[in-house]
């Protein structure tokens, strides 16, 4: 036995937006045998599998367009206006679990678009939340992840910048400074969710306390990639796993302290399962 000393980060796990969506899905599945969900309810394959066992049916937008007279859950990431129009046309009842923070951001972007502002969105191309944000601008806003993606010669002097809610705060302000230094007048909208961004600080403190860090996250999670890097930068002995099967006993030594943490899309039960497996070593 390696006699590992294991601690789970109490501040890791689902953000309130994901908790709301998952609880809504579970509540509906107690009343009916199945429930459609437009896209993965959360970017964590293990949690998706758990809910599919209860009757959740994940569908994409092409399948959604062919549905009629059904109930469909909208996940925390939110959806563009076209989704709501399809639901209206096809007599689909939407169970809207869009995160309140995302909905507020959508409304702000829509207001800027209605004022004919030039809108830039700092976010991941193709991300579900970003698709919903773009929809508020009739897909006219420009999405970017780095300054070199922006053709500054085609921008007006005054621009409006928003951010996907789960992006890095430091990187966002680095980009804002870059735009201002180039000479642009920037209307800055810091729309990063603080429940997410504040985990940067707490994870740095957490990661420093242990010999090894096991970061648990789905491979699709943007937030997971950001927070894993935070841990890795703080403690080079940080290892990314998506499930218990990814664990490697050979990386541990006797009597080491191990911290387990995860993304805002990582369920606490999965981190508990990782802990139980490590205790077997």
CATH of the domain at 31: 3.40.50.11270
Domain of residue 187, residue span: 101-194
Residues 6+ apart with CB under 8 A from 258: 4, 5, 6, 7, 210, 211, 212, 213, 214, 252, 278
Do 105 and 186 fall into the same domain?
Answer: yes
How many CB atoms are closer than 10 A to CB 60?
10
Q: What is the mean pLDDT of residues 56-80?
A: 96
Q: What is the mean pLDDT of residues 172-186?
A: 93
Sheet holding 71-74, edge to edge: 56-59, 35-38, 71-74, 93-96
Rounded to the nearest integer, the mean pLDDT of the chain is: 94
pLDDT at 71: 97
**Tens digit of each residue's pLDDT (9 = 90 or more) over 146-168:** 988 988 888 999 999 999 998 88
Residue 279: helix, strand or coil by DSSP? helix
Q: Are residues 212 and 263 in the same domain?
A: yes
Q: Which of 26, 129, 174, 254 is catalytic?
A: 129
For range 75-88, the mean pLDDT: 96
Same domain, 85 and 126: no
- Reported as a pLDDT band with limits 50, 70 and 90, residue 169 is confident
For residue 161, give the CATH number of its domain: 3.40.1010.20
Give how many domains the chain has, as a whole number: 3
**So what's the pLDDT on residue 257?**
97
Q: What angle do CA 204, 189, 160 make, to 5 degrees?
A: 135
The pLDDT of residue 142 is: 95
Q: With beta carbons less than 8 A apart as the criterion, state whether 120 and 113 touch.
A: no
Q: Is 174 considered catalytic here?
A: no
More confident residue, 266 or 195: 266
Q: Does the pLDDT at position 195 exceed 80?
A: no
Judge contact between 193 and 162, C-beta under 8 A.
no
Domain boundary among 65, 99, 133: 99
> Of 144, 175, 194, which marks where a domain is finished?
194
| CA–CA gap between residue 36 and residue 129 (Å, rounded) | 19
Question: Where does a domain end: 194, 227, 251?
Answer: 194
The pLDDT score that the predictor gives to residue 170 is 86
% residues pLDDT > 70 (the chain): 100
Check whether residue 135 and residue 83 sit in a common domain: no
Q: Which two tokens stand for residue 255?
A: 């009597």
CA atoms of 271 and 181, how far apart (whole Å): 43
CA angle 111, 91, 50 (to 5 degrees): 85
Give the number of other Cβ atoms within 10 Å of residue 156's Cβ. Answer: 9
Mean pLDDT (whole number) for 99-122? 96
Same domain, 146 and 159: yes
Q: Helix axis angle, 45-54 relative to 268-279, nearest 10°?
A: 110
pLDDT of 197 > 80? The answer is: no
């Amino acid at each position: 036995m390696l006699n590992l000393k294991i601690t789970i980060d109490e501040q890791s796990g689902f953000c309130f937006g994901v908790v709301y969506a998952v609880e809504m899905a579970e509540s509906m599945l107690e009343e009916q045998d199945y429930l459609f969900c437009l896209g993965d309810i959360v970017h964590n394959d293990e949690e998706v599998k758990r809910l599919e066992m209860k009757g959740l049916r994940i569908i994409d937008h092409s399948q959604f367009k062919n549905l009629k007279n059904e109930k469909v859950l909208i996940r925390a990431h939110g959806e563009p206006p076209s989704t709501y129009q399809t639901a209206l046309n096809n007599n689909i009842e939407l169970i809207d679990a869009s995160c309140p923070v995302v909905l507020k951001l959508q409304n702000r972007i829509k207001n800027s678009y209605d004022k004919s502002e030039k809108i830039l969105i700092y976010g991941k191309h193709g991300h579900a939340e970003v698709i919903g944000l773009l929809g508020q601008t009739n897909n006219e806003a420009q999405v970017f992840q780095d300054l070199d993606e922006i053709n500054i010669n085609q921008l007006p002097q005054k621009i409006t910048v928003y951010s996907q809610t789960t992006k890095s705060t430091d990187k966002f302000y680095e980009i804002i400074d870059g735009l201002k230094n180039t000479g642009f007048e920037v209307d800055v909208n810091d729309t990063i969710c603080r429940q997410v961004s504040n985990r940067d600080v707490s994870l740095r403190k957490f990661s420093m306390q242990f010999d090894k860090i096991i970061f648990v996250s789905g491979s699709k999670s943007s937030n997971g990639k950001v927070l894993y890097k935070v841990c890795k930068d703080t403690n080079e002995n940080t290892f990314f796993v998506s499930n218990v099967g990814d664990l490697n006993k050979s990386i541990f030594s006797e009597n080491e302290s191990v911290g387990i943490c995860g993304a805002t899309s990582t369920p606490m039960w999965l981190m508990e399962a990782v802990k139980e497996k490590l205790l077997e070593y």
